[in-house]
Copies of this chain bind each other. A is one copy, B any other.
């Protein structure tokens, strides 16, 4: 049972909610209680998470009647608002997400054995991205690059 939450300041939550409100406003959508709770929950996720994680966390936190349908329907909004992004990972049977708000889309090392992921920065890699994008006429997304392998602990 996952219980950890990322430790974030109240300010961070408010900035996130504010960004979300903006996104909603510009689409004539509304900030329901469910969405408010969802955004707070999402922004506190420690690492990668899936829909089920969110529903469990919200239920555990005493938010009444958090339904899968509601969360599923809200995810595209959170993505459009730049609060989260999707991951595309080997063997995951549900869609995984990670927080994107005020976080650089860092490349990841992902251990295919234990699932632990390491973020890393590499100037060279960023150079390469732009070089490649140019060479092939690509407009690259901000998605982190993922390298899969086995981490030190799982060798």
How distant is A142 from chain B, measured CB to nearest CB, in Å?
A: 9
Copies in the complex: 2
Are the C-beta atoms of A138 and B151 separated by less than 8 Å? yes
Across the interface, A124 reaches (CB within 8 A) one of B128, B145, B150, namely B128
How distant is A74 from chain B, measured CB to nearest CB, in Å?
A: 17
Residues of B within 8 A of A124 (CB): 124, 128, 131
Are the C-beta atoms of A147 and B125 separated by less than 8 Å? no
Residues of B within 8 A of A139 (CB): 149-150, 155
Are the C-beta atoms of B152 and A137 separated by less than 8 Å? yes
Residues of B within 8 A of A136 (CB): 109, 118, 120, 151-152
How distant is A123 from chain B, measured CB to nearest CB, in Å?
A: 10
Across the interface, A149 reaches (CB within 8 A) one of B88, B89, B138, B151, namely B138
Across the interface, A141 reaches (CB within 8 A) one of B118, B131, B132, B149, namely B149
Q: Which residues of A contact B (CB under 8 A)?
A: 86, 88-92, 109, 111-112, 118, 120, 122, 124-125, 128-129, 131-133, 135-141, 143, 145-152, 155
